[in-house]
């Protein structure tokens, strides 16, 4: 298959699949930069349904960074215990709120890279925030996105480097509406292209997938 065509086909079919199969998570509808950034921290190393379960209560109680800054860390930890790693997560939220309240007058700095000053915030959170909050076409990946790219575009033995994954994302993401592509890949990895026993028989891009084609 001609390579450019493959990226276009994967993009169109995955976005098409997403229209009928997307998860209706509240943070995907939010326009609040505060909620978008904090949600990315809550979503790290846990499953999305856990975040959905606490989402409304959490943001009812913690309406802004000041509420997190002023709150007791033990209570914050208890409020997010359903996500796991609550100790670590609470420390990140506290450090982030300290930075934003004391250095940026309560507003998230315009340059997302600055967020990485906070211990526990790395490329994924800052780039996901830039994409979902600021509508910037950034590249980032978790295990699901990496697996998706590996199976479709690579052989299964190669250890993919960051630059390779970013380059594949660049070729695959649409020029606008890229956030929908990220959400589509995340949902697709959760429902179809799962870590074990991917549901290849139900997959709309199996004829573009190296993993699948090498098994026939
Ligand atoms: Fe994943 Fe299978 Fe689809 Fe390939 S064919 S993308 S392995 S579900």
Quick one: pLDDT at residue 73?
Answer: 98
What pTM does this model have? 0.95
The distance from CA 13 to its chain's CA centroid, rounded to whole angstroms, is 20
Quick one: pLDDT at residue 168?
Answer: 97
Q: Is 105 helix (H, G, I), strand (E, B) or coil?
A: coil
* Class of residue 186 by CB neighbours under 10 A (exposed 0-12, middle 13-18, buried 19+): buried
Quick one: pLDDT at residue 3?
Answer: 67
Q: Which of 152, 155, 187, 215 is the best mutation target for the ligand 1 pocket, counting ligand atoms within 8 Å of the beta carbon and taking the most? A: 152
Quick one: pLDDT at residue 1?
Answer: 58
Residues 6 or more apart whose Cβ sits within 8 Å of residue 45? 84, 85
Q: Which of 16, 149, 205 is the best mutation target for the ligand 1 pocket, counting ligand atoms within 8 Å of the beta carbon and taking the most? A: 205
Confidence category of residue 193, pLDDT binned at 50, 70, 90: very high
Q: Which atom of ligand 1 is nearest to the CA of 200?
A: 2
Q: Which atom of ligand 1 is nearest to the CA of 205?
A: 3
Confidence category of residue 4, pLDDT binned at 50, 70, 90: confident
| pLDDT tens digits, one per residue of 8-32 | 999 999 999 999 999 999 999 999 9
**d(Cα 196, Cα 164) in Å, to the nearest integer?**
23
The count of other CB atoms within 10 Å of the CB of residue 72 is 9
Residues in the chain: 216
| pLDDT tens digits, one per residue of 162-179 | 999 999 999 999 999 999
Q: Which atom of ligand 1 is nearest to the CA of 198?
A: 8
């Amino acid at each position: 298959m001609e390579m450019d065509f493959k990226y276009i086909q994967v993009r169109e079919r995955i976005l098409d699949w997403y229209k009928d199969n997307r998860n209706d998570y509240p943070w995907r509808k939010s326009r609040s930069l505060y909620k978008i950034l904090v949600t990315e921290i809550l979503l790290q190393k846990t499953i999305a349904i856990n975040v959905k379960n606490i989402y409304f209560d959490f943001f009812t109680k913690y309406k802004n960074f000041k509420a997190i800054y002023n709150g007791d860390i033990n209570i914050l930890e208890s409020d997010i215990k359903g996500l796991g790693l609550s100790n670590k997560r609470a420390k990140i939220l506290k450090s982030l709120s300290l930075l934003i309240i004391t250095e940026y007058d309560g507003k998230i700095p315009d340059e997302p890279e600055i967020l990485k000053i906070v211990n526990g915030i790395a490329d994924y959170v800052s780039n996901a925030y830039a994409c979902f909050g600021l509508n910037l076409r950034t590249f980032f990946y978790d295990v699901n996105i990496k697996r998706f790219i590996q199976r479709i575009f690579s052989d299964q033995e190669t250890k993919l480097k960051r630059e390779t994954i970013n380059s594949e994302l660049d070729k695959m993401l649409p020029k606008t509406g890229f956030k929908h592509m990220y959400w589509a890949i995340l949902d697709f990895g959760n429902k179809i292209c799962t870590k074990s026993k991917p549901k290849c028989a139900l997959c709309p891009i199996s004829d573009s997938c190296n993993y699948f084609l090498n098994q026939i």
